[in-house]
Amino acid sequence: MSEHVRNIAVDIVLTVITCGLYNLYWQAKQMTALNEILNEDKYSFLTWCALTLITCGLYHIYHEYRVSSDLAEALGRDPGSDKVIAVVLSLFGLSIVVDAIQQSQINEHFGDSAL
C-alpha cells in the first residue's frame, strides 16, 4: 500500500474533532501525492496557505478547482463535472467533502479504492 493512500473516514473525523486543524495536514499530504501523480512540483503547501490567508479563503476555492481538474486528467477522466462540483461545494463551505472526493481519487490512482 502506498504512503499516499489514506483512510478517508479517519481524516474526516480528525478534521471535525480538531475543528479543521487536521485538514491542514491532510491538504499537505494531498499536495505531496498530487505532485507525485503529476511528476512535477506544481502544488506547494506554503504557497497555498499564504494565498488562502491573504485572500480570506478565496484562493482555496480556486485550489480545489485546480486539484480536481488535475486529478481527473491524471486518471483519464473528463474534468468538467469534477471542477464544477469542487467549486460549488467549496463555495458552500463543504471543502471537506471535496477533500474526501479527491482523496478517493488519489487512493484509486495508487491502487486502493477500498478506503
pLDDT (0 to 100) of residue 33: 95
Residues 81-110 pLDDT 10s = 889 999 999 999 999 999 999 999 999 888
**pTM for this prediction:** 0.89
DSSP string, 42-88: ---HHHHHHHHHHTTTHHHHHHHHHHHHHHHHHTTS--HHHHHHHHH
Say if residue 2's pLDDT is above 60: yes
Say if residue 49's pLDDT is above 60: yes
